[in-house]
Amino acid sequence: MAEQRSPRVFHGVPDLVAAIGADLGRSGRHLVGQPEIEAFAEVTGDRQWIHVDPVRAGASPFGNTVAHGYYILSIMTRLLAEVFRIEDIGMVINTGVDELRFLRPVPAGSLVSVGVRLAAARVRRRGVAELSLDVQVYLDDQDEPCATAVLHSMVRPPSGAVDGGSAQPVERAGSR
């Protein structure tokens, strides 16, 4: 369950380029529940007791089961959709993750949100843009993030909108 937010809307690549370096906002809070943690454990095969055994985990230094780090990574996309969306494009393709760090555990029952900054937008051949997003995951409204990552995506223009032009690199320094 996540709080409802109105995402910032970008209309095509030019809007994104104009927002390089901007803080795009923060998502609503999302419950990281034990059922989701257990479902993730089943899908991935990572059934380590710290994630799926509440009794044993209760006696650990964490005092509770904790979410898988990769579960936190996997919900970033869902929470990003609450922060912004891009219209007037063909598609967005995830192309990678850099600087992924899990800084503190996320206990079952916690609420998490993401903060996002558009670190870079590079327009390449045929109007295809490469985006880099600095993402921080926050636990229960704490000031310091529990996870961070730089997410990379490719934004393709709509069919028929390709101009065949040359590459137009546009980027601002200051990624994280």
What integer pLDDT is reported at residue 176 of this predicted model?
Answer: 45
What integer pLDDT is reported at residue 141 of this predicted model?
Answer: 75
Check: CB of residue 93 under 8 Å from CB of residue 128. no
Closest CA to 18 of 10, 27, 26: 10
What integer pLDDT is reported at residue 161 of this predicted model?
Answer: 63
* Residues facing residue 11 across a β-bridge: 87
pTM, two decimal places: 0.87
Measure the CA–CA gap between 106 and 70, rounded to whole angstroms.
11
Check: CB of residue 114 under 8 Å from CB of residue 137. yes
What integer pLDDT is reported at residue 171 of this predicted model?
Answer: 46
What domains sit in the chain, N to C, each tagged with a CATH number? 8-31+69-156 (3.10.129.10)
Q: Which tens digit of pLDDT belongs to each residue from 108-153?
A: 999 999 999 999 999 999 999 999 999 999 999 799 999 999 999 9
Closest CA to 1 of 111, 88, 129: 111
